[in-house]
Structure 1
Amino acid sequence: MDDATYRWVKDGTLGPGRLRYGADYNPEQWPREVWDDDVQRMREAGVNIVSLGIFSWALLEPRPGEYDFGWLDEIIDLLHENGIDVDLATATASPPPWLAHRHPEILPQTIDGTTLWPGARQHWRPTSPVFREHALRLTRALAERYGDHPAIVAWHISNELGCHNLYDFSDDAARAFRVWLQERYETLDALNDAWGTAFWSQHYGAWDEILPPRTAPTQRNPGQQLDFERFSSDAVRDHLRAENAVLAELTPGIPRTTNFMVAQNVRDIDYASWVDDVDFVSNDHYLRPGELGRDDLSFWANLTGNLAGGRPWFLMEHATSAVNWRPVNPPKRPGELQRDALTHVGHGADAVCYFQWRQSRAGGERYHSAMLPHAGADSRVFRDVVGLGEQLGALAPITGSRREKARVAVVFDYESWWVSGRDSHPSEAPAYDAETLAWYRALLDLGVRADVVPVGADWSAYEVVVAPMLHVVPTALRERLEAYVSGGGQLVTTWFSGVVDENDRVWLGGYPGAFRDLLGLTIEEFVPLLAGESAELSNGLVATEWTERIVRVDDDVEVLATYADTDLAGGAAITRRTVGSGSATYVSAAVGREGAAWVLRALADGVPALAADPLALDGRAEVIVRVAAGAPGAGARFTFVANRTDDELTVPAAGALLAGAGERRDTASVVVAPRGVVVIAQD
């Protein structure tokens, strides 16, 4: 690893690697006398890094251009004296009241023109030149003051960019949107063609006529919506780049990051396009409650690791127990705090951090769990926090190792997520993320390791590529998939795929448009199902939400299942076309996780990549592998076995048991606790 880029995984002297452990720390919420207790408890828990200053702008700059750094100086020095390093935020995530009072033109506007006022956070327009000026001035002041402080191992740019202000429909946004469109299309003729503006008399004769897709009498132009989503992602990224440039100029030796939200409510940010704008990837993840949560966590951690390109990444935020922003917020069950953290580590995280260190007494997140809860140190949560710190300390040897590539890839495409969920479609019931997760869970059920990879990544080396609901398919992507199959790859794709191009214009000639030749079939019409309706397939599977009428199947296509009832009875439902040593499989119905498993089992014969890992115990455990750089040797391979059940599992695995919720009762097997994870070092 490069010492400058990965300074955050080192100790203060760039010595031996160690896993980072900590939280957002907000000492400004507490009296000075609390700070000493905080640091003592941090040392007890094994905390070695905290993020500071994230929401401190109003205290750091109480009046325009007047700074008060005294309290921040003191807490940074105190942390440094106790061996705790700092990921210092630029503090620009939430403007102080004086800025919005003096410059209300920085406030964002919703789709219907409502102004979002101060009183919460992120009340700023990503395209506001006034906000940008003030934010960069504060960033520069912080960099000049703390750039040489030995405690600072990373810069934390803003916080959760776009979480609440991604879509701004103000006049600032309108002006910036037009500039973005001119750079993309160059001419109005090209834009009118891409958006299909001949429909409903939307043809534009001047750039100034174009607005963001604000509230309209009925459905808004789909191409305009897609481009505004792209623009909005780019506008927030442009702010990231602006702060990044100031920090790079003044403190080039300190790496810079911002916390992505790969799994959270900001689905409309294309994080794959942001990766080159940070020195290392960071992510926030919050567990979904219920049975789905564990696999959902694995899916998004897996994608985050692949966005990072296999390099170490930073889990910047997750929760020790309950959150506060869902309708019902149950606490984590015993063992889940450690399980969730070690699953992220298995997928490549070299830092495990939480929101936040000490649970707030006041404010909007006072019921959000923390490392040190309202109940204090004599609590289950804090005892679990201390225990996890001990576990992470034992895992220091894995620092800097990389997640071993699987032989199966699940492709994830942000634009297909955006577009497939639009209004004015055959059905609004299907959800791209749910369909993709169902296939990932089916692979876990079969004991098959898989990587979740962004659509723009190089997945040509994978033996099997699963691309569920790949709805948006530009010509270049179609050609990539055709080359993949022709080269011997096994492709699986599903309903509502290959339907539109990069401008959300339908590929003509019958569905699935871009994939007709590759799959060897034509779909005449979609047949979505009403709530409560279903369709049975000849293999016993039951489809809900979606079916399709396939009217042409080429001679070289094998029909794996047909529809058994409804108006589609006798028609093809699941097909496979062989191309040399490759194949392209199509699933035309929403058959869910169980159906995905059936398809994968049907393809497994002769496809070694779909063979189950024996450590997975028929899907009861997830297996993740990290491999150390350099020549193989003792401890060069680290196997994470995560128990997906509420029962104790006995896993046949030799090697040294490094950490986790389990024990070795003999030399050939490890017992994994319910909902536990164990880490085994092997030659």
Structure 2
Amino acid sequence: MTRAPAPAAHRWPRLPGIGYGADYNPDQWPREVWDEDIALMREAGVNVVSLAIFSWARIQPTEDSWDFGWLDEIMDLLHAGGITVDLATATASPPPWLTAKHPEILPVTRTGETLSPGARQHWRPTSPVFREHALRLVDAMAKRYADHPALVAWHISNELGCHNLYDYSDDAARAFRAWLRGRYQSLDALNHAWGTAFWSQRYSDWEQILPPRLAASHPNPTQQLDFKRFSSDALKDYLRAERELLRGITPDIPITTNFMVMGETKGMNYADWAAEVDFVSNDHYILPSPQAQDELSFSANLTGNIAGGRPWFLMEHSTSAVNWQPVNRAKGAGELARDALLHVAHGADAVCYFQWRQSAAGAEKYHSGMVPHAGRDSEVFRSVTTLGQRLKDLAPLAGADRAPARAAILFDWESWWASEQDSHPTELLRYRAEALDWYSAFLALGVRADVVPTGTALAGYDLVVAPVLHVVPAPLAKELTDYVAGGGHLVTTYFSGIVDENDHAHLGGYPGPLRDLLGIRIEEFAPLLPGESVALDDGTTGTLWSDRIEITDEASVEVLASYRSGELAGRPALTRRTPATGNGSAAYVSTRLGHEQLPGVLARLLEAAGIEGELPAPARGKVELTVRAHQGHAYWFLINRTEEPVDLTGIDGELLTGETAPLPARGVAVLRRDLP
């Protein structure tokens, strides 16, 4: 199966088996702690650490002075201890001397406020002054450590865009105009794309164009969408600048930066960034909710497919509690190992935490670490050490690719951005929440499904769900039509097929270029108020949205469910069109059913596609199955989603780690099986 663009060469760090470690911040601790750290790392099975991520002020105390002595020493100590280094370029957080001398590098908000130093990432992605100083640091580090035997990877900046994604400064305005010139070539083309005839917004000079700063009313929607595209590209351009410098000095050292595929972190188009790094890395933290474990699996799944199915690096997650949620709860028994191994199940060949030793001071002192405040004699450290041994047991699967599923969820960053903009039929729509609901439904039915970015070839999938596919340019519409004509089963939902790449509404009725494929036409949306719901005649209840559906192809469209209440009572709510030629189908779900009700609908759609779970029926929904493949073997990861043991009788294979008779509550077992 062809996948989305992956890292260009997929060059993996020189790691022994599965990587295991953490962010390490020795500069936060007295020198006498370092030797203890190395000893404890060896005890825990640590073989890689990320170093110097926030050390710019320590490395370069003033503009004209450098202090590498401490970093030289810890690099040597780690190498002597058999621990490799993913060395950060340390550019994530500029030092006080730089912002004092050059306050023009500080980001500006949409309301015109300049952000102050004192936290982190207080720099403009488009600032030429910041870039000059940052690249000077990168150059010095690369030249100094190019031949150090501990160095196995470069870690560019840290969580690019986490706090400085949208900058509305004059630097950003200039860069935005340059980006727009590249995209549109002429002002006439830009005026057409932005629909500037509306509200007398037509531009007659490039210099008139600004970022979508605070305005008297809603800013131009295409301007907003382009600014989102530009902001992702501006960070990508900065990533490239550091990467090219590093490649010129250390061409044999692979390069990465840590993505944040999790929750509502949506501003960076990571599917687009993947080809810029040698291997994909990701940070993920559990987000408390009824779907917390589903969200972890969803994010790891999407990360694995952004990586093109190749192994990726889990750069950060937490051993226990974090510090940035309203209430920060510690993990329960078994959760540390289950969370880590679920990432490995979806393709991670390295498992790292933030951070090695829990800080005694600073904003993250209550964030857990591999060595907590309680020290070595703690349940957390014992669990860390046990996980280290389990990862050693999984060394045979290092390098294994993800084994594609028969079903997929199509994930589109531009639909995410555009569908949640202002001045829409509802402000309550959440793109990722709908996608996650469908993923939860697959998990509840015990059916493997890939989460794949747009750009992935769909022909190898028997069923594809494309939730809230709001932005549908003509090529994508043709791709989906060809997919169904080729025998594929497509499912899409409300607010799909609504606009083109310029955020212009497709005319002639909704869902625009998908009307003929689905055999339906919608004249007007019928979003629901908070607390309002509609009953369907299949026993489900919809919220958020409804549609006044007209069937346009009576001979081919089957009504799977109709509205039973409200103004749309008796009208279709769920439809499926089976074209006269071919074996495919195209289904439409016009309301939000939620993760608890979707399994019933999805089961009918899976049956039509001939897909069922691969586990014995009693285990489906209780155990998540993921599969990796390598050198003639399939590695089955079995993750208990429940708080009770699960019987796995009938599943055979060589047990690499865990227990299967039964699979314990929150347990994870890995079986090695021969490929057919």
Matched with 2:13 is: 8
Q: CA deviation at 1:282?
A: 0.2
- Tell me if 1:564 matches 2:564: yes
Which residue number corresponds to residue 257 of structure 1? 256
Letter in 1 for 2:21: G
Output the CA distance in 2 between the equivalents of 1:141 and 1:222. Answer: 43
CA distance in 1 between counterparts of 2:238 and 2:557 reads 50
Give the Cα separation in 2 of the matches to 1:535 and 1:583. 26
> Hey, what does 1:553 align to over in structure 2?
552
Question: Whole-Å Cα distance in 1 between the matches of residues 199 and 222 of structure 2?
Answer: 13
Query: Residue 308 and residue 617 in structure 1: after superposition, are their counterparts in 2 closer, same or farther (change >3 A)?
Result: same
Deviation of 1:333 (Å): 1.2
- Match of 1:657? 655
1:601 Cα offset (Å): 1.6
Which residue does the alignment assign to 1:468?
467
Amino acid aligned to 2:589 = V
Structure 1: distance between partners of 2:182 and 2:151: 38
Q: Distance in 2 between matches of 1:514 and 1:100?
A: 50
Aligned counterpart in structure 2 of residue 679 of structure 1, from 651, 663, 670:
670
- Are the equivalent residues in 1 in contact too, given 2:263–2:295 (CA < 8 A)? no
Task: Find the aligned partners of 1:6 and 1:386 in 2 and give their Cα distance.
Answer: 28
| CA separation of 1:401 and 1:624: change in aligned 2, threshold 3 A | same
Measure, in 2, the Cα distance between the counterparts of 1:9 and 1:546.
50
Q: Which amino acid aligns with 1:603?
A: L
2:640 is aligned with 1:643: yes
Change over 3 Å in CA distance of 1:282–1:515 after alignment to 2: same
Select 1:587's aligned residue among 586, 589, 596.
Answer: 589
Deviation readout 1:371-417 (Å, 9 max, x if unpaired): 00011111111111011001001110010011111010111111111
* Sequence identity (%): 61
State the match for 1:15 in structure 2.
none
- The whole-number CA distance in structure 2 between the counterparts of 1:642 and 1:616 is 14
Q: Distance in 2 between matches of 1:448 and 1:616?
A: 13
Deviation at 1:198, TM superposition (A): 0.7
Counterpart in 1 of 2:314? 315
SS of 1:246 mapped into structure 2: helix
Offset at 1:293?
A: 1.1
1:73-97: CA deviations, max 9, x gaps?
0000000000000000000000000
Amino acid at match of 1:618: R
Which residue of 2 is the match for residue 95 of structure 1? Answer: 94
Question: Quick one: distance in 1 between partners of 2:289 and 2:225?
Answer: 33
Shift of 1:130: 0.4
Structure 2 match to 1:628: 630
* Separation in structure 1 between the aligned mates of residue 11 and residue 423 of structure 2, nearest angstrom: 47
* 1:292 and 2:291 aligned: yes
Q: Is the contact made by 1:110 and 1:169 (CA closer than 8 Å) also made in structure 2?
A: yes
Aligned counterpart, 2:620:
618
SS of alignment partner, residue 243 of structure 1? helix
Equivalent residues of 1:448, 1:610 under 8 A apart: yes
Matched letter for residue 414 of structure 1: W
1:100-249 → structure 2 map (5 Å cutoff): 100-249=99-248
Superposition RMSD in Å: 1.4
Distance, in Å, in 1 between the alignment partners of 2:617 and 2:325 is: 35
Q: CA deviation at 1:637?
A: 1.6
Q: Following the alignment from structure 2 to structure 1, what is the Cα–Cα distance between the partners of residues 12 and 460?
A: 32
> CA contact under 8 A between 1:88 and 1:154: conserved in structure 2?
yes
**Is the 2:314–2:348 contact (alpha carbons within 8 Å) kept by the matching residues of 1?**
yes
Which amino acid counterpart does residue 623 of structure 1 have in structure 2?
A: L
Q: Is the 8 A contact 2:319 2:368 kept in 1?
A: yes
Tell me, in whole angstroms, the C-alpha distance in 1 between the residues paired with 2:378 and 2:647.
Answer: 30
1:60-75 to structure 2, matched below 5 A, reads 60-75=59-74
User: Helix, strand or coil: the match of 2:530?
Assistant: coil
268-277 vs 610-619, which deviates more?
610-619
Q: Please list the CA deviations of residues 250-309 of structure 1 after superposition, one character each: whole Å capped at 9, or x if unmatched.
A: 000000000001115531110011111100000000011243111100000000000001
Shift of 1:565: 1.1
CA distance in 2, matches of 1:576, 1:608: 15
Cα distance in 2 for partners of 1:206, 1:604 equals 54
Q: What is the SS of the residue equivalent to 2:547? A: strand
Deviation at 1:5, TM superposition (A): 5.3
Contact residue 315 and residue 352 of structure 2 kept, 8 A: yes
CA distance in 2, matches of 1:429, 1:5: 39
C-alpha offsets along residues 564-607 of structure 1, whole Å, 9 cap, x if unaligned? Answer: 11000110110000122010000111111234222222223342
Deviations along 1:462-493, one digit per CA (max 9) or x if unpaired, are: 11101011111111111100010011100000
Deviation (angstroms), 1:329? 0.9
- The Cα of 1:10 is off from its aligned counterpart by 2.8
How far apart are the structure 1 equivalents of 2:15 and 2:101?
43
Q: Distance in 2 between matches of 1:72 and 1:259?
A: 22
1:673 deviates by 1.1
Q: Which secondary structure state, in structure 2, belongs to the residue aligned with residue 8 of structure 1?
A: coil
| Residue matched to 1:576 | 576
Q: What residue number does 2:3 align with?
A: none
Structure-2 change in CA distance of 1:301 and 1:673 (3 Å):
same
Deviations 1:215-241 (A, max 9, x none): 011111100000000000000010100
Offset of 1:528 from its aligned partner? 1.1
Alpha-carbon deviation of 1:9? 4.7
The offset of 1:554, in angstroms, is 1.6
Distance in structure 2 (CA, Å) of the matches to 1:171 and 1:54: 28
The offset of 1:677, in angstroms, is 1.0
In the alignment, the residues of structure 2 paired with residue 183 and residue 545 of structure 1 have an alpha-carbon distance, to the nearest angstrom, of 39
Deviation at 1:310, TM superposition (A): 1.1
Q: Could you tell me which residue of structure 2 aligns to residue 325 of structure 1?
A: 324
Q: Which amino acid aligns with 2:209?
A: I
C-alpha contact (below 8 Å) 1:223/1:504 kept by paired residues: yes
Number of aligned residue pairs: 664
Partner of 2:390: 391
Distance 1:598 1:637 in 2: 30
CA contact (8 A) 1:5 1:254 kept: no
Deviations 1:616-665 (A, max 9, x none): 71211100011113xx3xxx2210000111111111321221113x25xx
* Structure 1 position 553, deviation (Å): 3.4
Unaligned runs of 5+ in 2: 1-6
What is the CA–CA distance in structure 1 between the aligned matches of 2:663 and 2:620, rounded to whole Å? 15
Aligned to 1:447: 446
The amino acid of 2:297's aligned partner reads S
For 1:616 and 1:144, the matched residues in 2 are separated by: 58
- Cα distance in 2 for partners of 1:443, 1:5 equals 30
Matched-pair contact (CA < 8 Å) for 1:536–1:563: yes
**Conserved? CA contact 1:408–1:610, under 8 Å:** no
Report how far residue 248 of structure 1 moved.
Answer: 0.3
CA-to-aligned-CA distance 1:445-474 (integer Å, 9 cap, x gap): 111101000011112211110101111111
Would the alpha carbon gap of residues 142 and 336 (structure 1) be closer, same or farther in structure 2, given more than 3 Å must change?
A: same
Letter in 1 for 2:662: V
Q: TM-score, normalised by structure 1?
A: 0.96
- 2-side partners of 1:319 and 1:465: how far apart? 33
Contact preservation (8 Å) 2:291, 2:440:
no
What secondary structure, in the 3-state scheme, does the structure 2 residue paired with 1:654 have? coil
Contact 2:405 2:449 (8 Å CA) reproduced? yes
Letter in 1 for 2:226: D
User: Pick from 604, 608, 611: which aligns with 2:610?
Assistant: 608
In structure 1, the partner of 2:436 is 437
158-167 vs 63-72, which deviates more?
Answer: 63-72
TM-score, normalised by the number of residues in structure 2? 0.97
